Structure 1
Amino acid sequence: MIEMYLKELEQESLVTRKMLSIIPDDKLDWQPHPKSMTIRSLATHIAELPTWVTMALTTEELDFASAPYNPTVINNTKELLELFEVSLMDGRSELVPQNEEKISETWTLRSGDQIFMVSTKGETIHHALCQIIHHRAQLGVCLRLLDVPIPGSYGPSADETSF
């Protein structure tokens, strides 16, 4: 499983890097709707998600009541890409054969007494990878609304082909 997660993280990082790299610096505070995150918040979250691999494998839980989310402050796309690379190195660091036995251990996401998710550490890693993909798609919609040409994810995008 560790080898599979590492391969998936590597594949998704290629697409994620392309998407993060095209964010215009002057659009970081844009948001499509008042209930939506700004591009800065969304992109920062995407860039930090690889660290959830490490968190899943090195902790038993995340309790937002005692460890509230404090996103890294980024001010431009260069800083965003640097944050992503650091997060990616962090996530890769625990995807080693020695951690294979941890995959089936339990991990919990909570805020105090409110439990959001109880799953295996392997399922938590998979969830983190899915979150990267999910939020990357949201970012793609934001960029499309700003008329930024979108790179392909699993094949060419409408901006890369004449189909």
Structure 2
Amino acid sequence: MFTTVNDFLQEWKQEAAVTQKVLGALTDESLNQEAAPGLYSIGSVAWHVTGAAYYFPSQVGITFEVPDLRKEAPASATEISETYKLVSQRLTEAVSGQVSDEKMNEMVNLFGMDMPIQAVFRLLIQHQAHHRGQLTVLMRQADLRVPGVYGPSKEEWEAMNASK
């Protein structure tokens, strides 16, 4: 759990930077890659991650302006990446301005569960990491170079060892 707003913001900034790196590696051609026919595509998962960065905080009263996130996933990887960057930045600003350390312990109801706002923030980060993992698997299937997330990717590891 986060005991202060700053605790959350520091972790959010780190996690958002990793997500941004993954989204930045997508291509327009890769957005239709599915795990299997009829399942989520790279584009729909990436757009879902982008929307969640707004949806979770908005459900507990944190407000900020974002583009239309209810529309269908864009066909442009750059548009998804840039929208995520904007939403993440505005989330950071909104939390800084609207949430106090005391409010972190305020109880809210999310998905039918009572929890403190700090738990909503933890759930947001976990949700993002979960879908980021899905994206990296789909990226492998689409023959994209997967960036390292919590350490070097296979390609990054091979490049590090080749330079020794």
Q: TM bucket by the smaller chain?
A: 0.7 to 0.9
What is the DSSP-based 3-state SS (H/G/I as helix, E as strand, rest coil) of the residue aligned with 1:119? strand
Higher relative helix content: 2
**Cα shift at 1:148:** 1.1
| Structure 1 residues 35 and 119, CA gap change in structure 2 (3 angstroms) | farther
Give percent identity, aligned residues only: 25
* Alignment partner, residue 118 of structure 1: 114
2:83 matched to 1:80?
no
2:14 matched to 1:11?
yes
| TM-score with structure 2 setting the length | 0.80
What is the DSSP-based 3-state SS (H/G/I as helix, E as strand, rest coil) of the residue aligned with 2:150? coil
* Alignment partner, residue 108 of structure 2: 107
Q: In 2, are the aligned partners of 1:57 and 1:103 still within 8 Å (CA)?
A: no
| Structure 1 residues 124 and 71, CA gap change in structure 2 (3 angstroms) | farther
2:39 to 36, 41, 61: 36
**Cα shift at 1:95:** 2.5
Aligned partners of 1:52 and 1:107: how far apart in 2?
14
Higher relative strand content: 1
**Cα shift at 1:52:** 4.1
Aligned partners of 1:128 and 1:56: how far apart in 2?
11
Residues 145-160 of structure 1 mapped to structure 2, 5 A cutoff: 145-160=141-156
Aligned partners of 1:89 and 1:54: how far apart in 2?
13
What is the DSSP-based 3-state SS (H/G/I as helix, E as strand, rest coil) of the residue aligned with 1:32? coil
* Alignment partner, residue 132 of structure 1: 128
**Cα shift at 1:57:** 4.7
Which ranges of structure 1 fall in alignment gaps of 5 or more residues?
Answer: 60-68
Q: In 1, are the aligned partners of 2:21 and 2:147 still within 8 Å (CA)?
A: yes
| TM-score with structure 1 setting the length | 0.80
Aligned partners of 2:91 and 2:54: how far apart in 1?
5
**Cα shift at 1:28:** 1.4
Aligned length: 149
What amino acid maps onto 1:131 in structure 2?
A: H
